[in-house]
Amino acid sequence: MVLGGTINVLVVVQMFVLGPRLILSVRDYHAKLIADSDTETSMNSIVFQEHVHISTSNTV
């Protein structure tokens, strides 16, 4: 019973403390990497060039 309670507390700590901290540290590392880099790095977004309308029938 004590072990189960301890595991529940550790899961909550992991979700709300360690997860966001890991994300922030990865962002900080990436920002430092970009700042120290001489080459251009860019994140390309996916752009849909063509919009195609597909008609569906109302009968099933």
Percent of the chain at pLDDT exceeding 70: 63
The pLDDT tens digits of the residues spanning 12-29 come to 888 888 888 888 999 999
Residue ranges making up the domain that contains 32: 1-60
* Residue 9 φ/ψ region, left for φ over 0, alpha for ψ in the -120 to 50 degree band, beta for the rest: alpha
- Number of domains making up the chain: 1
Higher pLDDT pick, 10 / 34: 10
Over 80: is that where the pLDDT of 47 sits? no
For residues 39 and 57, which has the higher predicted lDDT (pLDDT)?
57
